[in-house]
A and B are shown apart, each in its own frame.
Chain A
Amino acid sequence: MAIEVRIPTILRSYTDGEKAVSGEGQTLAELIADLESRHTGIRERLMDGEELRRFVNVYLNDEDVRFLEGISTKLADGDSVTILPAVAGGA
């Protein structure tokens, strides 16, 4: 089962510059483990321990996974996952 993963500019150093890569997994956690097996170092940029980093947004199709089941969100063949860095900051 293949899931398309859209990679933001800041993480393309892990994907040889590719804007999108393909991955596998029943859940987002499994997908990230699968990506890590081919794009070493990417997990550390997405996760802090067992949680998604605060400043990384991950969408399943059009939905922020924080409003689904987070890292346990279930995936299906043909799903599209988009990773975007949060745009945030403050004084």
Chain B
Amino acid sequence: MLTLTQELYEQIVAHARADHPDEACGVLAGPTPAPKDGRPQRFIPMLNAARSPTFYEFDSQDLLKLYRDLDDRDEEPVVIYHSHTATEAYPSRTDISYAGEPGAHYVLVSTAECGNDEGPVSFRSFRIVDGEVTEEDVRIVASYEADADVPV
């Protein structure tokens, strides 16, 4: 299960819509060690260095800065998100072969239906460990303190 706030959920969706038809990507960071259901704190949109509708990649210099910054703050990449702009929100073979954070929740957003506009998006979360994909439930809350579900 991934638990995240409505604010973080909306930030990811807005980023995915804005960058459509290119894939959008980024991280939600949180204190390490993260609880099992995630509970990330901080939205960090990243530039898709590939600027492509079918591929995403963090720029290598941005990647180094990101990890130094996370290290300094005792944080980890709790969620690694990216969008699929023409296909479903499910890890592709490429996604699986590149998945390098066994502890992360991999969030996939599909903007295939909505494009840049308001409209339905699909938002799903997966664990990817040793090439094996396991989907998990996503729970959206107004805040971690209140801990009450928000319908989306």
Contact = CB atoms under 8 A, between A and B. Distances in A.
A15 to B, nearest CB: 15
Interface of A: 8-10, 55, 57, 59, 62, 64, 66, 82, 84-91
Interface of B: 23, 25, 27, 46, 50, 52-58, 60-61, 63-64, 67, 80, 82, 84-87, 91-92, 94-95, 97-103
A15 B87 CA distance: 39
Nearest to B84: A91
Q: Chain A interface mostly helix, strand, loop or mixed?
A: mixed
B56 A88 contact: yes
A9 B78 CA distance: 13
Q: Report the 3 A-B pairs with minimum CB-CB distance, sorted nearest first.
A: A85-B100, A90-B55, A89-B95
Contacts, number: 79
A73 to B, nearest CB: 14
Contacts of A89: 55-56, 82, 91-92, 94-95, 98-99
Nearest to B86: A91
B60 A55 contact: no
27 contacts: A9-B101, A9-B102, A10-B100, A10-B101, A57-B60, A59-B60, A62-B64, A64-B60, A64-B61, A66-B60, A82-B67, A84-B63, A86-B60, A86-B98, A87-B25, A87-B27, A87-B46, A87-B100, A88-B98, A89-B82, A89-B91, A89-B98, A89-B99, A90-B50, A90-B54, A91-B23, A91-B54
